[in-house]
Amino acid sequence: MTLKLGRRRYLSAKAFLDEAVFGVAKALVLTSIILVTLYPFWNTIIVSFNQAIDTTRGGLYLWPRIWTITNFKSIWVSANVPHALSISVARALCSTVLNLFLTTMLAYALSRREFVLRRPLTIIVLLSMYVNAGLFPNYFLIKNLHLNGTFWVYVVPTLISAFNFIVIRTYIKTIPESLFESARIDGTSDFRIFISFVLPLCKPVLATVALFVAVGAWNAWFDTLLYNSNKTELFTLQYQLMALLQQSMSQSRSAADVNAAGMAANIAASMVTPVSIRAAGTIIATIPILVVYPFLQKYFVMGMNVGSIKE
């Protein structure tokens, strides 16, 4: 006997009760998770909109105490945001496109079981994730390749990530072998198969990896410090934010200043502190990612798979 309530069909009254209880539990747990994970971001937002010198007092929980957009203004003016933004975007785009293409090509080649070099090449790529030569050897390599002082130092050293390789490879493994076999019987070359079949079919995993790569490129600043610190035209957004953070540290803590009596209210209002710059900087740096993500998200839920082999 089945119960029909609304649009759902239940097998029994007990099933309905189960569903209801679970529904409530589900809602409660989900709401708490949403609130808990939303809170840090929310807190960052209110700190970024709160007057810096007031934030030093602490105690900001749910809403700013003294509203201001000075923190954002300060960043916009000092960090040369438009130009830095363009460099960061260019970097993220180049990295993402090149990464996706090369990693997928490698993943396809190494997913072919008949490939004689499969095992050794896979091991080489895999182990590269677990070794790191350290600061100086990497610096020397970049220098010897004359990448320092150029835009390409942002893209070339990070073209392949073994993690992304694994993710894409295992997805490719889920594509039925029969597809490739029939293509080969038709005489299609491997490269052609890669371009015409693999890339389109891998859209979901490519979207995921694109997000990983883009976010990584977007957040990096250490390479600018090491290789491009004297080239203001190549400063990325994160690097400018980092510089601004240091400057704000001095503004509030420098020994070169003496408090003026009757410190004008507007001067106090226009001061920035590291905490406020960090908060406002985080918001500025994160917004582009949040804007891009929804476009990628529709690809994820279409079915990305790591590890499941359907043969």
Please give the residues from 39 up to 58 whose contact with another protein meets the rule CB under 8 A.
Answer: 40-41, 43-44, 53-54, 56-58
- For residue 174, the one-letter residue type is T
20 binds another protein (CB under 8 A): no
Report, in Å, the least distance between residue 294 CB and another protein: 8
Task: Name which of 185 and 261 has its Cβ closer to another protein.
Answer: 261
Q: CB 90 → another protein: shortest distance, Å?
A: 20
Query: What track of x and - describes contact with another protein for positions 128 through 167 (by CB under 8 A)?
Result: xxxxxxxxxxxxxx-x----x--------x-xx-xx--xx
- C-alpha to C-alpha distance for 283 and 43, rounded to whole angstroms: 11
The pattern of x and - marking residues 236 through 275 that bind another protein according to CB under 8 A reads: ---x--xxxxxx-xxxxxxxxxxxxxxxxx-xx-xxxx-x
Number of residues that bind another protein (CB under 8 A): 134
Q: Identify which of residues 4 and 57 has a Cβ nearer to another protein in the complex.
A: 57
The C-alpha atoms of residue 11 and residue 157 are separated, in whole angstroms, by 59
Please give the Cα distance from 285 to 49 (Å, whole number): 15
Of the two residues 91 and 284, which places its CB atom closer to another protein in the complex?
284
Q: Residue 202, SS3?
A: coil
Binding flags for another protein, 105-134, as an x/- string (CB under 8 A):
xx-xxx-xxxxxx-x-xxxxxxxxxxxxxx
- Rounded (10°) angle between helices 162-172 and 203-219: 170
- 4 contributes a contact to another protein by CB under 8 A: no
Per-residue b/e over 291-306, b at no fewer than 16 CB within 10 Å?
Answer: ebeeeeeebeeeebee
b/e 49-65 (16+ beta carbons within 10 angstroms → b): bbbbbbbeeeebeeebe
